[in-house]
Amino acid sequence: MRKVLLLLLLMGVVAATQSEVKVYMDQMLEQIFVLKPFIASDASFEDPDNSAQISAALTQMAQLSGKIKHEEMISKSGFAVSGAALQQQLEEVVSVFDNGNKGYALWTLRSTLGVCMACHTQLPAVSTRFTAMNADQVLANPFEEAEFLFVIRNFDAAMPLYSKAITGYPGDEVDISDVEQAIYRQLYYYLRVARDPLGLAVALQDGAANTQLPARLREQMERLRAAALSAQDRVYPQFTQSQTAEVRQYAESMMNEELVGDVSLDSPEAAIAALKLSSVLYEYLNAHPDTPLKADILYWLSFCERRYQSMQSLPDLYLRQCVLEHPASPVANQCLADYVDSVTLAFTGSGGTHIPDDVMEELNRMRALVKEQQ
C-alpha cells in the first residue's frame, strides 16, 4: 500500500511540474508573439517608438527562461547547449538592447530563439499551440513572415516565401537588401540543414531568371549556382565516436585551407565550405554529445559560423558553452578571448565602450573559472 501511495505522490509531483512548465511555456509563447513583428523587421526592432514594448517583452522572456527546466528537454533534442547558457544569452540580449546596440541584440535574439523553438516545438502540445497562434498572426509582408518562420526553424514554410521574394522582386514590398537576405537564407537551409546542393542550385536558377534583379546580383547567383553544382557530388563526411583524430584533421584542414575571411555572396566556395563544415560538426556533436572533442567542436562551430553572420548562427553561445562547461580544456582560453572580444564589440558605439556591470561580472567569473582550471 505504501508503494502505491508513493507512486501516486510521485505521479502528482510530475503532473504538477508538467503543468507548471506548460504555464511558463504559454507565457513565453505570448511574449514571442508580442515580439514577432519586431523580430521579423530590422527597422521595426530598431525604431525608438517600439523600444519600451520590446524591452519589456525581452525582460519577461529572460525571466521565464529561468523558470523552465531545460536540461531534460535539451538532452532529448540532442542540442548540446545548457539551459543556463540559453538563459544567460537571453539576459545578454536584454542588456545589449537596453544599452542601445539594437542590431546586435536582434541578431543574438534570432539565433537564441531558434535554439529554443527547435527544442520546444518538438513537444506536440507546444507545437500545436504555436502553429495555431501563428496562423492568427500572419504578417502582411511575406518576406517578414518568412524571416519569422526561419527564426523558429519552420523551414518548410519559410523557403517558398523566400523564393517568392526573389522571383517576385520588386513586388510585395521587397527591396534589394531583402532579396540578398533571402539568398543567404537559401544558402543556410540547403547547405547547413538539408545538405542539398542540387536543391540550392535549382532555387538559385529560378531566382536568377528574374531580369528585374540587378545584373551584379544575378551574376553572384550564377556563380553560387555553379559552385553548388560542383559540390553536389562531394559527400558530407560522417564520423564514428572513436574517430576523433579524423574529425580534428577534417575540421582544421577545412578552416586552414578554405575558411579565410568572411563569407559573402562573392565567395561561393567559402560559403559552401563554412556551411558544410558547421553542418558536419553540429551533427557529430548531436550524435556524440560526450565526445572528448566537445570543447574543440564548440570553438570550431563558433569559428565557421562567425564567417557568415548575415545568416542565423550562434557563435557567442558556442563560445560561452565552451568556457562554462570545459574551462580546463586547452581551447578554453581561445573561446574566452573570442567571447570577450564579441561582448566588447556589442557594447561599443560612437561614445566608446560601456559594458554593463552585470555583464562585466559574468566576464570576470568566466576569467576566474578558466584561470582556476588551467
- Quick: pLDDT tens for 327-350: 999 999 999 999 999 889 878 877
* Separation of CA 52 from chain center: 25
How far apart, in whole angstroms, are the C-alpha atoms of residue 221 and residue 370? 44
pLDDT at 23 over 70: yes
Using pLDDT thresholds of 50, 70 and 90, give the confidence band for residue 312: low
134, three cell numbers: 501563428
Residue 229 has pLDDT above 90, yes or no: yes
Strand partners, 353: 348
Q: Which residue has the higher pLDDT, 290 or 327?
A: 327
Which of 258, 239, 257 lies closest to 248 in space, CA to CA?
239
Is residue 35 very low, low, confident or very high in pLDDT (cuts 50, 70, 90)?
Answer: very high
Looking at the DSSP assignment, which residues form a beta bridge with residue 351? none
Instruction: Count other Cβ atoms within 10 Å, centred on residue 300.
Output: 27
Buried b / exposed e along 280-290 (16+ C-beta atoms within 10 A)? bbbebbeebee
Confidence check: pLDDT of 253 > 60: yes
The whole-number pLDDT of residue 10 equals 38
CA distance 218 to 67: 48
Residue with cell 544575378: 218
Phi, psi torsion values for 311, nearest 5 degrees = -100, -175
pLDDT at position 121: 46
**pLDDT exceeds 90 at position 237:** yes
Please, which residues have CB within 8 angstroms of residue 115's CB and are 6 or more apart in sequence? 79, 81, 86, 314, 317
For the cut 50, the answer to whether the pLDDT of residue 137 exceeds it is yes
Span of 68-72, 108-112, 276-280, 356-360 with lowest mean pLDDT: 68-72
Angle at alpha carbon of residue 8, lines to 4 and 14, rounded to 5° = 145
Asked whether the predicted pLDDT for residue 284 surpasses 50, the reply is yes
pLDDT band at residue 304 using 50, 70 and 90 as cut-offs: confident
User: How far is residue 119 CA from its own chain's centroid?
Assistant: 12
pLDDT band at 307 (very low <50, low <70, confident <90, very high): confident
The listed CATH number (1.10.3470, 1.10.150, 1.25.40, 3.40.1350) that belongs to domain 240-374: 1.25.40
Map out the domains of the chain as residue ranges: 19-68+77-137, 141-234, 240-374
> Coil, helix or strand for 336?
helix
Buried b (16+ CB within 10 A) or exposed e, 150-175: bbbbbbeebbebbbbbbbebeeeebe
Q: How large is the average pLDDT for residues 92-103?
A: 88
Q: Considering the domain 19-68+77-137, what is its CATH architecture? A: Up-down Bundle (1.20)
The one-letter amino acid at 48: P
The predicted-structure confidence for 54-73, as pLDDT tens digits, reads as follows 999 999 988 887 776 554 44
Average pLDDT over every residue of 251-262: 74
pTM, two decimal places: 0.82
And the C-alpha cell for 50? 517600439
